[in-house]
Amino acid sequence: MKILLADDHELVRDTIAAFLSREPGMQIVVVADFAEAAERITKEGPFDLVLLDWGMPGMDGFDGLARAKTLNYGSPVGIISGTANRTIAEKALAAGAAGFVPKSLPAKSLVHAVRFMAAGEQYAPIRFMTEKEDVPENPLATKLTKRELEVLGGLVEGHSNKEIALALDLQEVTVKLHVKTLCRKIGARNRTHAAIIAKEEGLF
């Protein structure tokens, strides 16, 4: 089974690739952005499964999904993300994604999801798709709105305002405002400081 994994977050990409590489018969190709993914699909495809990070450079949301599906000759193309919400997941599935995989998914479930999608089935974790999107019971979280928490999650992952905007289906200027507001609320000097505070408080 030949799988292409495209994700600009090196630690996440390498961790997922390591999990999958342990599985018998799985060959993993990793790239860091959509442009490189498109190039590898063109040269080496079709892959049995292509996994695209929703917020990586060049992805461009649903346009990237559609282009990857075309390049991969209709073979499965799934979405992985640490920031996209349930609405984005539902839209991606409706647009023909082979599945939606949160980066928080346990390793065993990830392997199951990959095999499921590669077999031509559509995957989405039931808990993610059905659970109430409540604010976590964390002292820091109580200071922020749900949207500010989602933006902060993007900052923790090192994404730019543009990438966060694509992941959350927002305007980039709106994300900038959320960043400014959440920094003020949690006493952060800047976006990097906000990400550090979030990690120290165990929010992500």
Q: How far apart are CA 29 and CA 6, in angstroms?
A: 8
Same domain? For 110 and 168 the reply is no
Same domain? For 23 and 124 the reply is yes
Same domain? For 84 and 164 the reply is no
Same domain? For 161 and 180 the reply is yes
Q: How far apart are CA 48 and CA 56, in angstroms?
A: 21
Residue 201 and residue 139 in contact, taking contact as beta carbons nearer than 8 Å: yes
Same domain? For 42 and 105 the reply is yes
Q: What angle do CA 39, 60, 16 make, to 5 degrees?
A: 65
Element (DSSP H or E) covering residue 31: strand 27-31
Residue 136: inside a domain, yes or no?
Answer: no
Domain boundary residue among 79, 102, 130?
Answer: 130
- Residue ranges making up the domain that contains 15: 2-130
Cα–Cα nearest to 147, from 117, 171, 122, 168: 168
Domain boundary residue among 85, 111, 130?
Answer: 130
Residue 151 and residue 173 in contact, taking contact as beta carbons nearer than 8 Å: no
Same domain? For 124 and 152 the reply is no
User: Domain with 168 in it: what CATH number?
Assistant: 1.10.10.10
Q: Does the reported pTM lie above 0.75?
A: no
Secondary structure tally for the chain: helices H, strands E = 10, 5
The tens place of each residue's pLDDT in the chain, 204 residues long, gives 999 999 998 888 988 999 899 999 999 999 999 999 999 999 998 999 999 999 899 998 899 999 999 999 989 999 999 888 888 899 999 999 999 999 888 888 899 999 999 999 999 988 777 765 554 567 888 888 989 999 999 998 889 999 999 888 899 999 999 999 999 999 999 999 999 998 888 776
User: Domain with 35 in it: what CATH number?
Assistant: 3.40.50.2300
Same domain? For 71 and 10 the reply is yes
Same domain? For 122 and 166 the reply is no
Same domain? For 23 and 89 the reply is yes
The overall longest dimension of the chain from CA atoms, in Å, is 50
Same domain? For 149 and 50 the reply is no
Please give the pLDDT value at position 157: 86
